[in-house]
Amino acid sequence: MEKATRQHTKAHNQRLVLNKIYHTPKISRAGVARMTGLTRSTVSENVSELILEGLVAEIGHGKSAGGKPPILLDVVDDARQIIGIDLASGEFRGAIVNLRGAIQHRINLPVENRSGEMAFELVFNIIDQLVAKADTPLLGIGIGTPGLIDAGSGVVQNAVNLDWQNLPVADILKEHYLLPIFIANDSQLSALAEYNFGESHRVPNLMLIKIGRGVGAGVILNQQLHYGDGFGAGEIGHIKVEENGELCRCGNYGCLETRLSSRYIRWKAKELALKNNDSLLNQFAATQKEITNEDVLKAYQGGDPCVQNIVKEVGTRLGKALTYLVSFLDINRIVIAGSVSMFGDGLINPAIQELKAGTLSALSNNLEVHVSSLGEDIVILGSAGMVLQNELGIF
Ligand SMILES: [Zn+2]
């Protein structure tokens, strides 16, 4: 028992030391001791082990404060690689990233309506290809997918788009690849990506709204990703916003998702374009079966009044949803991600207007709403962040 406690303390200290070095480049051993409260000998012992493992390196000398100049430390960014997988898009996306979230190799595979076992085979396929490309030891594999995911046990409770129910994804993949596997909801992981690698780096509280084919949110509270009691925190896409609304993928009617997603925007754009000869999409809508997100963006940028109205409408609806979330949590930093964020200020400005009109000024005065700069890599980076936190204690 005593031995177990000692080992536990040791592992805890090592994670503490590594986390400090990761976030404070060019720090000395004495600096780590000062900032962590650990003794200098404990820090030295742990730093020696981290150097042996190749995770930390001595990178030169700092200025002397009278005595010997201190040796500076940093994390070796390429000491390990992480595989991050995004199952939330129209295609499965995967990448190898280093310890700082730099993407080193990527693979996208078309899903082509595969679900159930066929979709799972595609997951094996993409991971196989990435594992073959790894050229330094792999720290683990992180996966982001829409749905209710028990991130603790790695069980997908329900992912409608993939037709997976109660599927122990982490266990199945662990057995096959003999690597640590972590899986969580894509919107939750997007918030983690923003916190770890985005412009909101280490902002203690932030809320991310991901609007693409689906709509979901992720919340960082006190520097921790908040999963909720049943891992469903942020499932805002299925809040009913309309009586007698449209049928949603979840089986209910009038969900927020049916009025906010990229699917809604494309549908509405086509409908309006067919009725309006002025619309840049008019000819297009009449001839083509499907309007893509890119077509809508092009029309928006070309000044199509129909599309501009839709984006404004969606932005206002987003702002309305945010009034509840912001009033409940009082979080200043709001980040918008997902394909619908491509409309930028056109989406955000009406959202901010609605948000300011619908909340106490004390809550909305310091709001910062912006589009994530992580783009299409956001779920991959969040997945990598989850591995980084679980395996090395870096967060
Ligand atoms: Zn729904």
Model confidence pLDDT, tens digit, residues 166-223: 999 999 999 999 999 999 999 999 999 999 999 999 999 999 999 999 999 999 999 9
Q: Which residue has the higher pLDDT, 34 or 66?
A: 34
The structure tokens 């080992």 sit at: 7
State in Å: Cα 145 to ligand 1 middle.
16
For residue 90, what pLDDT is reported? 86
Q: What angle do CA 258, 260, 265 make, to 5 degrees?
A: 90
Helix, strand, coil shares of the chain as percentages rounded to 5? 45, 20, 30
Ligand 1 centroid, distance to 47 Cα (angstroms):
50
Work out whether strand 138-145 and strand 181-185 pair parallel, antiparallel, or are unpaired. parallel
Q: What percent of the chain has pLDDT over 90?
A: 86
Residue 37, Cα to own-chain centre: how many angstroms? 32
pLDDT at position 379: 98
Please give the distance, rounded to the nearest whole angstrom, from the Cα atom of residue 118 to the centre of ligand 1.
24
Alpha-carbon span 122 to 115, nearest angstrom: 9
Confidence category of residue 6, pLDDT binned at 50, 70, 90: confident
Q: In percent, how much of the chain has pLDDT > 70?
A: 99
Query: 194 alpha carbon to ligand 1 midpoint, in Å?
Result: 26
What pLDDT sits at residue 142? 98
- Cα distance between residue 75 and residue 50, in whole Å: 9
Contact (Cβ atoms closer than 8 angstroms) between residue 238 and residue 255: yes
The tens digit of pLDDT for each residue in 285-303 reads 777 668 899 999 999 999 9
Hey, what's the torsion of the CAs at 228, 231, 237, 240, to 10 degrees?
-70
Tokens representing 312 are: 């404004």
With cut-offs at 50, 70 and 90, classify the pLDDT of residue 257. very high
pLDDT at 77: 98
The strand order across the sheet containing 56-61 reads: 27-28, 71-75, 56-61
Is residue 269 predicted with pLDDT exceeding 80? Answer: yes
Q: How far is the CA of 216 from the centre of ligand 1 (A)?
A: 11
Ligand 1 centroid from CA 94, angstroms: 27
The string of pLDDT tens digits covering residues 98-142 is 999 999 999 999 999 899 999 999 999 999 999 999 999 999 999
Question: Sign (positive/negative) of CA torsion 306, 310, 311, 313?
Answer: positive
pLDDT given at position 288:
63
Tell me how far the alpha carbon of residue 295 lies from the centroid of ligand 1, in angstroms: 26
- Asked if the model's pLDDT at residue 280 lies above 70, the reply is yes
The alpha carbon of 346 and the centre of ligand 1 are apart by a number of angstroms equal to 25
Q: What residues contact 168, with CB distance under 8 A and at least 6 apart?
A: 153, 154, 155
Distance from the alpha carbon of residue 263 to the mean position of ligand 1, in angstroms: 13
Query: pTM of the prediction?
Result: 0.95
63-83 pLDDT per residue, tens = 988 888 999 999 999 999 999
Is the Cβ–Cβ distance between 338 and 210 less than 8 Å? yes
Query: Where would I find the beta strands (DSSP E) of 257-359?
Result: 333-337
Residue 12, C-beta contacts closer than 8 angstroms, at least 6 positions apart: none
Predicted local confidence at residue 103, as pLDDT:
98
Which amino acid belongs to residue 131? V
Kindly tell me the burial class for residue 91, based on how many C-beta atoms sit within 10 Å of its own C-beta (0-12, 13-18, 19 or more): middle
pLDDT of 22-32, one tens digit each? Answer: 999 899 999 99
Q: What is the C-alpha to C-alpha distance for residues 209 and 371, in angstroms, rounded to an integer?
A: 10
Q: Ligand 1: distance of its center to the CA of 167 in Å?
A: 21
The helix or strand, by DSSP H or E, that contains position 187, with its residue range, turns out to be helix 186-197
Q: How far is the centre of ligand 1, averaged over its atoms, from the C-alpha of 131 (Å)?
A: 36
236 Cα: distance to centroid of ligand 1 (angstroms): 9
- What does 343-387 look like in DSSP terms, one character per residue? GTHHHHHHHHHHHHHHS-HHHHTT-EEEE-TTGGGHHHHHHHHHH
Whether the Cβ atoms of residue 343 and residue 335 lie closer than 8 Å to each other = no
CA of 58 to the centre of ligand 1 (A): 53
Ligand 1 midpoint to CA 238 (Å): 4
Per the listing, tokens 């594992």 go with 131
CA 356 to centroid of ligand 1, rounded, Å: 27
Rounded to the nearest integer, the mean pLDDT of the chain is 94
- Six token digits for residue 200: 């909101």
Whether residue 242 contacts residue 227, with contact meaning beta carbons closer than 8 Å, is answered with: no
Q: What is the 164 CA–ligand 1 centroid distance (Å)?
A: 17
pLDDT value of residue 1: 63
**Distance from C-alpha of 387 to C-alpha of 198, rounded to nearest angstrom:** 17
Listed range (39-48, 316-325, 358-367, 384-393) with the worst mean pLDDT: 358-367
Return the pLDDT at 176: 97
Question: For residues 262 and 248, what is the distance between their CA atoms, to the nearest angstrom?
Answer: 14
Query: How much distance in Å is there from the Cα of 232 to the middle of ligand 1?
Result: 14
- Establish how many alpha carbons lie within 13 A of residue 393's alpha carbon, considering only the half-sphere containing its beta carbon: 13
Per-residue model confidence (pLDDT) at position 18: 98
Ligand 1 centre distance from Cα of residue 142 (Å): 26
Q: What's the gap in Å between 213 CA and the centre of ligand 1?
A: 12
